[in-house]
Amino acid sequence: MIKLKNDDQIEGIRASGRILSEIMKELKSQVYPGITTAELDRTARKLIERLGGRAAFLGYMGFPAAICTSVNEAVIHGIPNGRKLRSGDIVSIDCGIEHEGYYADAAVTLPVGTVSPEIGRLLEVTHQSLYLGIEQAKAGNRVNDISRAIYRCVKSRGYGVVRPYCGHGVGLAIHEDPQIPNYVGSGKNPRLKPGMVVAIEPMVNLGGDDVLLLDDEWTVVSGDRSISAHFEHTVAILDHGPEILTPWE
Ligand code: MG
Ligand code: MG
């Protein structure tokens, strides 16, 4: 069931999104060759505590960290660890915050040092596809309008689109209805209404569409081990159009 949010609730999610944006901006500035994803997780936990939120992912279905850190061929749900990032890597940082009962969710994929032009383009196009999806997040459209905008952008460059994982409603919980796929399927295709809050999150592979779950039972990697990018914003659908509630840029 899709839960529409009233103005007070949207203001609460907006406040949560502001905290999350601060955290993401700080984490972005700390990605450089030699740092480990475990250090990024420690920084995230300190920031979340200082800013007065709660890490929504920590303990969620047993997840052991405050952020997901997915390096190179990892798509999503990577567990922070002690491996040092190297120049040429990319790392997706995904974080969810709860503040006074309201949830926000965001992700960014960052280059570490200098990446190849091919990987740089993957990051640009995936980020662009997120914005094309957000443009369609307006009352009167349907979920598939968001999905189609993302899919067309990504496929026009020949990239793979991850299908088993997708965006979602968010706000009163970290995952709510509806699902927001990054492709146009035959599933539910609800109409978008003012008061809906959704996390839009394209996951894009340099190679094919397929993904695999690693033995840690969390990390999702591209099936062909090609490099994978992921960007996410929490977006409110309002009378006058979409509002990004996690402006981490
Ligand atoms: Mg999400
Ligand atoms: Mg997320």
Which ligand is closest in space to the CA of residue 66?
2
Closest CA to 237 of 199, 181, 184, 189: 199
Question: What range defines the domain where residue 129 resides?
Answer: 7-244
What's the total number of domains in the chain?
Answer: 1
Mean pLDDT of 166-194: 96
CATH number at residue 79: 3.90.230.10
- Which tens digit of pLDDT belongs to each residue from 52-61? 999 999 999 9
- Which tens digit of pLDDT belongs to each residue from 22-43? 999 999 999 999 999 999 999 9
Spatial neighbors of 83 by CB under 8 A, at least 6 apart, are: 36, 37, 71
Strands 54-55 and 90-99, how do they pair?
Answer: antiparallel
Residues near ligand 2 ion, CB 5 Å cutoff: 94, 105, 107, 232
Spatial neighbors of 238 by CB under 8 A, at least 6 apart, are: 10, 139, 194
Q: Does residue 249 lie in a domain region? A: no
Q: Does residue 217 lie in a domain region? A: yes
The partner residues of 49 in beta bridges, in order of sequence, read none
Residues near ligand 1 ion, CB 5 Å cutoff: 105, 199
Q: Which two tokens stand for residue 76?
A: 């999503």
Q: Does the pLDDT at position 97 exceed 90?
A: yes
The CA 135 to ligand 1 mean position distance, Å, reads 18
The CA 94 to ligand 2 mean position distance, Å, reads 5
Which ligand is closest in space to the CA of residue 166?
1
Q: Does residue 2 lie in a domain region? A: no
Q: Does residue 1 lie in a domain region? A: no
Question: What pTM does this model have?
Answer: 0.97
The CA 118 to ligand 2 mean position distance, Å, reads 24
Mean pLDDT of 186-214: 97
